[in-house]
Amino acid sequence: MKRFAAIDLFAGAGGMSLGAVRAGMRVALAVERDPNAARTYAANHRGTAVFSNDIRRLTPRRIRAVGSKGRTKIVFGGPPCQGFSYSNVRTRSAENADNWLFLEFIRVVRLWKPDWVVFENVKGIADTAGGVFVDHVVEQLEELGYAMAHGLLNAKDFGVPQDRARFFLIGCRTGIRPRLPRPSRRKSPTVAQAISDLPVLDNGASVSWIPYGDALPSYYARRLRNGKGKCPNHLVTRNCELVIRRYSHIPPGGNWENIPARLMRNYADRMRCHTGIYHRLRANRRSVVIGNFRKNMLIHPTQDRGLSVREAARIQSFPDDYEFHGSIGFQQQQVGNAVPPLLAEAVFKAIIAAAN
């Protein structure tokens, strides 16, 4: 059985790394410039060196020094994706400088010469600016000798209670033709199966470690529980009374359109709200995408409040002993930006199987 040593670029809170570790890989180095996400990563991946700085400051010497003796090498990561997102119409173009940070991914690959690469991003990268970014990645990896497979993978097909499609590219330069993992035959859990065992919360709940609720956990929830009898990050943004009143009018699956116009008067033009504004999740279905909390404003399926950080993390497939750091806003951002660990694990298991 081949052993893998990995570098995680644009690591965020560590969803990709968690999937890699669960698949059996050792992550030697993680690069993440956001200090809150880097703090979360370091707290949950104590055996990994964390470079908490701009990737452009990562020197060739530091890259080449990453230990990999006797191991198959792999580089993985997803450059900042806001510029590729369908929700970002202003900067979704080749003119957005941040969209070119994927060249740093290529630079690390060129210097470290890994056997495998995994490039991940939002599905919008495939057609942004006519697909120019994917074309650049493919072209440069081909020049470095990598055979590739790429396409969209949906988290719901790999045991995650969320309809979340992501772009993945897997490359190998050892003569193996890579393939994307096949969907699991097991049906993904519902929102209720993911979060109904967590305790009921009041608006603005701010105590991190609290006991689990009385509801019997599902198979999925039991897998994510930490054995401590308590869970961290079960925190909720405090909303004003007007927002709470709006919540009460929204049925499962509904959104801002269900709110009486008299309660939406502070919106200059409420008809321009997108479907994710004030969307209440359905307990008996998978979640929509867990993304930017402020833009999506997802509502708990039965309680008149937003999702807690822990509920969002559950829907992303993070275990309950994975603690997020920073203010509640930064924690929400970390969870929303993360790759679901179960999805990442499926990708890395497919690579390990192919390599052996």
Residues with a catalytic annotation lie at 81
Give the residue carrying structure tokens 């570098």.
7
- Tokens at 219, concatenated: 């198979």
Question: What is the rounded CA–CA span in Å between residue 174 and residue 236?
Answer: 48
Which residues does 69 contact at the CB level (< 8 Å), separation at least 6?
none
Are the CB atoms for 8 and 17 separated by under 8 Å?
Answer: yes
Are the CB atoms for 167 and 125 separated by under 8 Å?
Answer: yes
Are the CB atoms for 70 and 115 separated by under 8 Å?
Answer: no
Q: How many residues does the chain have?
A: 356
- Tokens at 344, concatenated: 């990442």
Q: How many CA atoms lie within 13 A of 315 on its CB side?
A: 32
Could you write out the DSSP letters of every residue in 15-28? Answer: HHHHHHHHHT-EEE
∠ at Cα 177 (174, 182), nearest 5°?
130
Q: How many CA atoms lie within 13 A of 74 on its CB side?
A: 31
Give the residue carrying structure tokens 């993985």.
76
Each residue of 312-332: b (16+ CB within 10 Å) or e?
A: bbbbbbbbbebbbbbebebbb
DSSP state of 304: S
Of 170, 174, 183, give the one whose Cα is nearest residue 356: 174
Neighbours of 260 (CB within 10 A): 9
